[in-house]
Amino acid sequence: MKKITITGAGLVGSLVGVYLAKKGHTVHIVERRPDMRREAVVAGRSINLALSDRGLRGLQGAGIDKDILNVAIPMQGRMMHSISGEQTFQPYGLEHQAINSVSRGGINIALMNCAEQMPNLSISFNQRCLDVELDSATLVVQDTTTNKRSFIESDCIIGADGAYSAVREKMQKTDRFNYSQSYIEHGYKELTIPAGLNGEFLLNKNALHIWPRKQFMLIGLPNLDGSFTCTLFFPFKGNPSFDSVKSDSEIKSLFEENFSDVIPLMPNYINDFKVNPVSTLMTVRCFPWSHKDKVLLIGDAAHAIVPFFGQGMNCGFEDCTVLSEILDNYSENDWENAFKEFELLRKQNSDAIAHLALENFIEMRDKVADAEFLRRKKIERLLHNQFSEIFTPLYSMVTFSHIPYSDALTLGEKQDYIINQILSIPHIESDWNSADNQTFIRSVMTPK
């Protein structure tokens, strides 16, 4: 059995710790921040997250999927808010399918509690990884309360320290390590729609609310206390942008022109807009993710993506499931090859979801309000109903299935081609069942 040190007790570090401890290894997690169960931690990134099937399977391995679902709010579709305040619901998938709004802190705490119940797993807080000696799997950590430095020796290090990973930074200095990080032109700011006077939800709680405004958008996810955490994705530069909208009157005009239905629901929007921080969004791509059998990157440390498909955490949890399955096929002396298999398999999938997440930003902020897009979605639904064995829409493949992301991407491109052919028939949606149209649809769906 190995002595394993994990950097980061975030979502993925805590979960992978549970998986490894379950296999009997001795696991020690070092976390830079204080213990969020004891101290109020300043909210960092998104307060709530959309958890879907891949993430749930990851949590199932730790036995806490049902507990998390009990405190999640299912969202069956998008609720689009037009500029005039009209609301239109678009289902995400079949009637029983939903993504789940979960609290980031809640899920992290549940994972840490689950981890610490294991006798062979411990978490040390306020321990910042400063440096890594890759060949010997030795960490240099600093206690952030005393500034005291210490060395932690292990058989293996798992770098789960997020998008700005210190472990990855050290690997970047090794020979032939590829690395890129690219920021998008938009940042984000969180705002809140509080609960009503009696704790009630002021919008439909079973939907992810979107105010698409082409170059920017506002979204809102429900919280258990009746509030919605809203996120404004907005350009840094240009007009309007975080750069151009600063004063009370500029913020007021932005909302009056674009989010007038939000104003009565968000009494503190001007102050919140001024006070709440703006955060950046980036995609990190790197390779390899491992160094011999000594170090492995996982989660955002290996593949940070933009949040527009709601898959960063889900993908990180899927990493844990896949790593666990791969390790079961290798002896403990052969983790170098296990890590190689893992990184090859996951790299193509994380590249695919990184690509899809960037594309989905355009879909969410712009296309969802477009008549042509709604036509496409209708055709997708008709095809899904009629050919459910062979046609699953891209969103459903990513969100409600375990089909590898890279396969979903390839299949999605083929589907686009098919849908384009079908859409070329005038009035196809209303004349779907005519004999001629059915012959054509069948011929494109099952080409000889």
Query: Between residues 232 and 422, which has the closer beta carbon with respect to ligand FAD?
Result: 232
The piece of 117-125, 160-168, 401-409, 418-426 that touches ligand FAD (CB under 6 A) is 160-168
**Binding-residue pattern over the window 8 to 27 for ligand FAD, x denoting contact by CB under 6 A:** xxxxxx--------------
Member of 240, 312, 393, 404 binding ligand FAD (CB under 6 A): 312
**Binding-residue pattern over the window 127 to 146 for ligand FAD, x denoting contact by CB under 6 A:** -xx-----------------
Q: Which two tokens stand for residue 348?
A: 């193509």
CB of residue 8 to ligand FAD, shortest distance in Å: 3
CB of residue 102 to ligand FAD, shortest distance in Å: 9
Query: Between residues 220 and 307, which has the closer beta carbon with respect to ligand FAD?
Result: 307
Query: Between residues 343 and 432, which has the closer beta carbon with respect to ligand FAD?
Result: 343
What number of other Cβ atoms are within 10 A of residue 67's Cβ?
16
Query: Between residues 240 and 310, which has the closer beta carbon with respect to ligand FAD?
Result: 310
Member of 222, 307, 393, 404 binding ligand FAD (CB under 6 A): 307
Selection from 208, 191, 362, 340 nearest residue 266 by Cα: 191
CA–CA dist 159, 298 (Å, integer): 6
Closest-approach residue to ligand FAD (CB): 10
Query: Between residues 8 and 288, which has the closer beta carbon with respect to ligand FAD?
Result: 8
CB of residue 16 to ligand FAD, shortest distance in Å: 9
The piece of 146-154, 195-203, 303-311, 380-388 that touches ligand FAD (CB under 6 A) is 303-311
CA–CA dist 112, 118 (Å, integer): 10
CB of residue 298 to ligand FAD, shortest distance in Å: 7
- The answer to whether the beta carbons of residues 199 and 179 sit under 8 Å apart is no
**Residues 176 to 235: which contact ligand FAD by CB under 6 A?**
188, 231
CB of residue 413 to ligand FAD, shortest distance in Å: 23
Query: Between residues 157 and 419, which has the closer beta carbon with respect to ligand FAD?
Result: 157
What string of H, E and C letters represents the secondary structure of 346-372? Answer: HHHHHHHHHHHHHHHHHHHHCHHHCHH
* Per-residue DSSP letter, 278: P
Query: Between residues 152 and 301, which has the closer beta carbon with respect to ligand FAD?
Result: 301
Member of 3, 45, 367, 381 binding ligand FAD (CB under 6 A): 45
**Binding-residue pattern over the window 47 to 66 for ligand FAD, x denoting contact by CB under 6 A:** --xx----x-----------
Question: DSSP labels for 281-339?
Answer: EEEEEEE--EETTTEEE-THHHH---GGGS-HHHHHHHHHHHHHHHHHTS-GGGHHHHH
- The answer to whether the beta carbons of residues 248 and 270 sit under 8 Å apart is yes
CA–CA dist 281, 216 (Å, integer): 14
Total site size for ligand FAD, rule CB under 6 A: 34
Q: How far is CA 270 from CA 203, 238, 263, in A?
A: 20, 20, 10
Classify 232 as helix, strand or coil: strand
Query: Judging by DSSP bridges, how do beta strands 156-159 and 3-7 pair with one another?
Result: parallel
CA–CA dist 291, 343 (Å, integer): 11
Selection from 44, 51, 1 nearest residue 399 by Cα: 51
Query: Between residues 312 and 376, which has the closer beta carbon with respect to ligand FAD?
Result: 312
Quick check: 166 binds ligand FAD (CB under 6 A)? yes
**Binding-residue pattern over the window 76 to 115 for ligand FAD, x denoting contact by CB under 6 A:** ----------------------------------------
Classify 36 as helix, strand or coil: coil
Find out whether the peptide bond into 267 is cis, omega within 30 degrees of 0: no
Burial class, 403, CB count within 10 angstroms (exposed 0-12 / middle 13-18 / buried 19+)? middle
> Residue numbers of the site for ligand FAD (CB under 6 A)?
7-13, 30-33, 45-46, 49-50, 55, 128-129, 160-162, 166, 188, 231, 299-301, 307, 310-314, 316
